[in-house]
Amino acid sequence: MWIFYFLFWTAVRASEERLYRKIGDKAVLTPDSVVNPITSITWKHGSDIAMEWYGDKTYSYRQFKDRGSLNISTGVMTITGLYQNHSGIYTAEINNKVNNHTQLLVISPVPKPSISVSCERTYCDLTCDGNTTGAEPVEYWWTAGEKKWNSTKELNITKEDKEEWFICTVENPVSSISSEKVFNPFMEKPLYGKIGDKAVLTPDSVENPITNIRWKHGHYNAMEWYQNGDKTISYQHFKDRGSLNISTGVMTITGLTRDLSGIYTAEINDRFTSIIQLLVISPVPKPSISVLCKRDKADCVLTCGGNITDAEPVTYWWAAGEKRWNSTNQHKITKDDKEQWFICTLENPVSSISSEKVFNPFIESDWKVIFILTLVVVGVILFGGIIYFKRKHKKGTGEAVDGTRHEMGEMLPNLHGNSNVACE
């Protein structure tokens, strides 16, 4: 028996017409064929009778009492002011003969979507947001310049995507509506903030008077203000760090931390006005230069070292005397480089700091040779001088130049001119 029912409803579904209509509109249900004259009409909603006509009188039931009408000449049933409970399978029986099946689907129009943007360093996710409950089936379309394509509600873009702006469109069988433009965050210069500092987010354009302001951080509300309530509401970590200028729409965030990085979108007077990518980064550390030379001293590599985690993007600068140039974290020099010293500088959008000087190792080597030779020469001179003064000193104490020594007694007679000296 269950196989019979399965085959029956499969045949019914295969033969039924699917008719989509919008809530509040009307639906016209037309039987496939009619054999005149019509003597009786019955329209069923599922297994229940919705409307019927026989004996020259029309009967309406439940939700069809004030909204249904029958054309007794054609068998057409019309439903006005549609509700979702009018959805279902409709079966027509004309002159007691089952005619056709129509599936009526009453759905809501799609809401106007908005695009939320969530970015990492190398990519951004654009999400087409809107509550589509009761509006399905829904399709999503994306537009960028002259391009339009069907996709999911999420679109991933990278720095390689050069489109200036994006629009998402939500569409179902009864309606279609598009979002406002969202500009490519990679085409806009990011706003960098230093950890612990403040960031001032300024909307692109504002139409006065301002009646409401909403700033979003990614998908979530950050701060909002409504003229009616005349009260500023802060959410999550913006409660103690955020402030709004209700005259300009500017949002200020103090005590920046890395989790405050992201895409911020402003809605002023219920109109999307701008998108700002805030990147909170650390200041660069003071770098130091390490020197590594080849054994044959053909060249040396100077490396500018420093932990730049959370401080990117970082630019490296090198300076030597009056020269300054942008480069990588390494700089190779040879004997042909005659600069006396080198300095490297780390720079990011929020800070800049330089290393101590490092002297040219090739020039330093030359000076070492000169210094060693000078020491050798000075040593030889000192050694010779010491020998000279030592010999001179020995002469004064009775030592002959030839190295022999005379007794004082032998010398005294000669000194006094008298060789006959008697001693007891």
Q: Are 242 and 251 in contact (CB under 8 A)?
A: yes
End residue of a domain, out of 334, 363, 392: 363
pLDDT of residue 400: 47
Q: How many CA atoms within 13 Å lie on the side-chain side of 342?
A: 28
How many whole angstroms separate alpha carbon 40 and alpha carbon 34?
11
pLDDT of residue 397: 55
Let me know if residue 371 belongs to a domain: no
pLDDT of residue 401: 44
Look at the chain and report how many structural domains it folds into. Answer: 4
Q: Cα dihedral sign for 360, 361, 366, 369?
A: positive
Q: Where are the beta strands (DSSP E) in 159-314?
A: 165-172, 175-178, 182-183, 191-194, 199-201, 212-217, 220-226, 231-234, 242-244, 251-253, 262-268, 271-281, 288-293, 299-305
Phi, psi of 122 (to 5 degrees): -115, -10
Q: Are 249 and 213 in contact (CB under 8 A)?
A: yes
- Token pair 């509401």: residue: 233
Residues 233 and 145 in one domain: no
pLDDT of residue 419: 39
pLDDT of residue 257: 95
How many whole angstroms separate alpha carbon 260 and alpha carbon 191?
12
Let me know if residue 410 belongs to a domain: no
Residues 172 and 212 in one domain: no
How many whole angstroms separate alpha carbon 199 and alpha carbon 202?
10
pLDDT of residue 420: 43
Whether the bond between 209 and the residue before it is cis, its omega within 30 degrees of 0, is yes
Residues 9 and 98 in one domain: yes
- Report in angstroms the alpha-carbon separations of 219 from 99, 139, 281, 397: 51, 21, 22, 103
Residues 50 and 89 in one domain: yes
Q: Are 143 and 183 in contact (CB under 8 A)?
A: no
Let me know if residue 348 belongs to a domain: yes
Let me know if residue 12 belongs to a domain: yes
Nearest to 266 by CA among 258, 254, 276, 257: 276
User: Domain of 220?
Assistant: 191-281
Residues 302 and 227 in one domain: no
Residues 212 and 264 in one domain: yes
End residue of a domain, out of 47, 72, 107: 107
Residues 292 and 267 in one domain: no
Compute how many other C-beta atoms are within 10 angstroms of the C-beta atom of residue 375: 10
Residues 81 and 22 in one domain: yes
pLDDT of residue 13: 46
Q: What is the pTM of this model?
A: 0.51
Structure tokens at 148: 């339009």
Let me know if residue 418 belongs to a domain: no
Contacts 24+ apart (CB under 8 A), 264-267: 264/201, 264/215, 264/216, 264/217, 264/222, 265/116, 265/117, 265/182, 265/215, 265/216, 266/201, 266/203, 266/204, 266/213, 266/214, 266/215, 267/212, 267/213, 267/214, 267/215, 267/216
pLDDT of residue 387: 79
End residue of a domain, out of 134, 159, 183: 183
How many whole angstroms separate alpha carbon 285 and alpha carbon 311?
9
pLDDT of residue 393: 66
Query: Could you list the pLDDT tens digit for every one of the 424 residues in the chain?
Result: 444 444 444 444 444 679 999 999 999 999 988 888 999 999 999 999 999 999 889 999 999 998 999 999 999 999 999 999 999 999 999 998 998 899 999 999 999 998 888 776 678 889 999 999 999 999 999 999 889 999 999 999 998 888 888 999 999 999 999 998 887 887 777 899 999 999 999 998 788 899 999 999 987 899 999 988 788 999 988 999 999 999 999 999 999 999 998 888 888 998 877 778 888 999 999 999 999 998 887 899 999 999 999 999 999 999 998 899 998 999 999 989 889 999 999 999 999 999 999 999 888 554 455 556 667 677 778 877 787 777 776 665 554 444 444 444 444 444 444 434 333 3
How many whole angstroms separate alpha carbon 285 and alpha carbon 353?
7
Residues 144 and 71 in one domain: no
CA dihedral angle for residue 59, residue 61, residue 67, residue 69, rounded to 10 degrees: -30
Residues 269 and 298 in one domain: no
Residues 242 and 258 in one domain: yes
Q: What is the CATH number of the domain that holds 235?
A: 2.60.40.10
Let me know if residue 124 belongs to a domain: yes
Residues 68 and 101 in one domain: yes
